[in-house]
Chains A and B, each alone.
Chain A
Amino acid sequence: MSKRWIGLVVVLWVTACSPIDPKLKQYLVEGERLYVLHCSNCHQRDGQGLRRVYPPLAGSDYLKENLPRVICSMKYGLQGEIIVNGIMYNQAMPGVPSLTELELAEIATYLYNSWGTQTGLIDARRIGPLLDSCARPRPRR
């Protein structure tokens, strides 16, 4: 048997034994769609942000360490100084109050499993308790 065949068998065996979770896949597809709709204007399609105006999400240490705050800011917005990868940002990010718990989970799953990170599924059931912890800023207008 040639080396190429051995390779193919190994690949098939590995993928058969660890199929990508269909639920994760579904979250990722929806999450990407919602990201493009609600977030990519500012953070850019590739998550790189824009200069020192909009912070990057790809490779962000802030994102990695602050899941509850990230969930809250998607729904209720974020204001004041924050530091992302050593750079200070200070520009209000508006929230999208209409996002449901499922949608928040889908976007979060997309953020935490793209651009080189793989954290796995963030289930919609985890969102409710996280939201309860949010300090809800009053709307600007």
Chain B
Amino acid sequence: MKYTKEMRLHWTKWVWLALMAIGCTGLDKPLPILGPREVDGADTLYHTIAPFRFVDQDSAVVTNADFTGKIYVADFFFTSCRTICPIMKTQMLRVYEATTEMPDVLLLSHTIDPEWDTVALLHDYAERLGVESRRWHFVTGQKDSIYKIAQTSYFATAMEDRSEPDGFIHSGAFLLIDRRGRIRGKYDGTKEEEVNRLIGDLKRLRRE
């Protein structure tokens, strides 16, 4: 059979269609892996969230094991805060609403004022926010462990400072953590556009 011009046209049409289909489903670049890394021979060791053990609004112990194989978004806040936390919570609520149909996505909010934010208070807070503890954990614990994990694992600022209007300095960051405990994105949780980007990235990460 002779290879005709029509046949070639026919063939290229399919190539184009295939390329478009791939383009739409996401040959998009994978999200970066943030934090320091070590190269060990042929392997690269990425920064991961250190082991932790906190208690959530239902008095349940929450550790890394609850998040392995899950994607989660972490932040640091406290209930009596009047500066950025209310905005952060409004925005985190958007993430919560956007992920209702995604059982593999969880939210983890750490209080940085554990003396005030007791389990009972966090329970009340979550209930008033109308969110399920299964999907959104509000955790408290040893103050030092919370500050340490904020600074050394999530690279988020959290510290007490009585000269601040709220008594604390903290960043409004939302951190996107993948199924293996690696940081894949950092967003300003006080800005709607940044949180839109987070929601987009979350969907990309789920396809990985």
Chain A partners chain B: yes
Interface residues of A (CB under 8 A from B): 41-42, 44, 50-54, 89-92, 94, 140-141
Task: Decide if the interface of chain A is mainly helix, strand, loop or mixed.
Answer: loop
Number of interface residues of B (CB under 8 A): 19
Interface residue B63 (Cβ < 8 Å from any Cβ of A): no
Q: How near does chain B come to A82, taking the closest CB pair, in angstroms?
A: 13
Docked pose: A51 CA to B84 CA in angstroms? 17
Known: A53-B128, A53-B129, A91-B128. A140 touches B82 (CB 8 A): no
Q: What B residues does A50 contact at CB under 8 A?
A: 86, 89-90, 93, 129
The answer to whether A53 touches B80 (Cβ under 8 A) is no
B125 and A91: CB pair below 8 A?
yes
Interface string of B73-113 (1 = CB under 8 A from A): 00000011011101101100100000000000000000000
Q: Which of B82, B87, B89, B116 contacts A53 (CB 8 A)?
A: B89
Interface bits B24-59 vs A (CB < 8 Å: 1, else 0)? 000000000000000000000000000000000000
Most buried by A among B90, B129, B167: B90
Task: Tell me whether B23 is interfacial, beta carbon within 8 Å.
Answer: no
Taking A41-B87, A44-B90, A50-B89 as contacts, is the C-beta distance between A94 and B128 under 8 angstroms?
no
Chain A residues with CB under 8 A of B90: 44, 50
